[in-house]
Structure 1
Amino acid sequence: MARPIKTAIWILFITLCGLFLDHGAAEASMEGRIRECARVIRDMAGENDASTMRDLIRSSHGIAIFPSVVKAGLGIGGKYGQGVLLKHDPYTNRWYGPSFVNIAGLSWGIQIGVQSTALVLVINNQKGIEAFEGDKITLGGDLSVSAGPVGRNAQAGTDSSLKASIYSYSMSKGLFAGLSLEGAVISTEGDTNRAYWGREMSVQQILSKRASGPKMVPLLRALKDAVKTGK
Structure 2
Amino acid sequence: MISRRTLIGTAGATLALAACGNGVGGNGAPTIDARVDETRNYLFNRYPGTRELAQKSYGVLYMPLVTEAGLGIGGAFGRGALRIKDATVDYYSAAKATIGFQIGAQQYAHALFFMTQDALSEFRSSQGWAAGADLKYAIPDQGGSIGKDTTEIAPVIALVFGQSGFIAGATLSGTKYTRIIP
Q: TM class by shorter-chain length?
A: 0.7 to 0.9
- Residue ranges of structure 1 left out of the alignment (5+ in a row): 88-93, 174-178, 193-231
Amino acid at match of 2:56: S
Residue 72 of structure 1 corresponds to 69
Which structure has the highest strand share of the two? 2
Deviations 1:4-27 (A, max 9, x none): 9xxx6xx96796367436634455
Q: Does 1:136 align with 2:128?
A: yes
- Residue ranges of structure 2 left out of the alignment (5+ in a row): 165-169
Deviations 1:84-138 (A, max 9, x none): 1122xxxxxx345421110000223433222111221111211211122233111
Residue 44 of structure 2 corresponds to 45
Shift in CA distance, 68/61, structure 1 to aligned 2, threshold 3 Å: same
Which shows bigger deviation, 94-103 or 22-31?
Answer: 22-31
Cα separation, 2, equivalents of 1:180 and 1:19: 18
Q: Does 1:81 align with 2:72?
A: no
Q: 2:138 pairs with 113, 133, 148, which one?
A: 148
Cα separation, 2, equivalents of 1:108 and 1:26: 25
Which shows bigger deviation, 17-26 or 63-72?
Answer: 17-26
Q: Does 1:117 align with 2:105?
A: no
Percent identity of the aligned residues?
A: 21
RMSD across aligned positions (CA): 2.9
Give the count of matched residue pairs.
168
Q: Which has the larger radius of gyration?
A: 1
Runs of 4+ in 1 over 6 A off after TM superposition: none
Contact kept in structure 2, 1:27 and 1:33, CA below 8 Å = no
TM-score, normalised to structure 1, is: 0.62
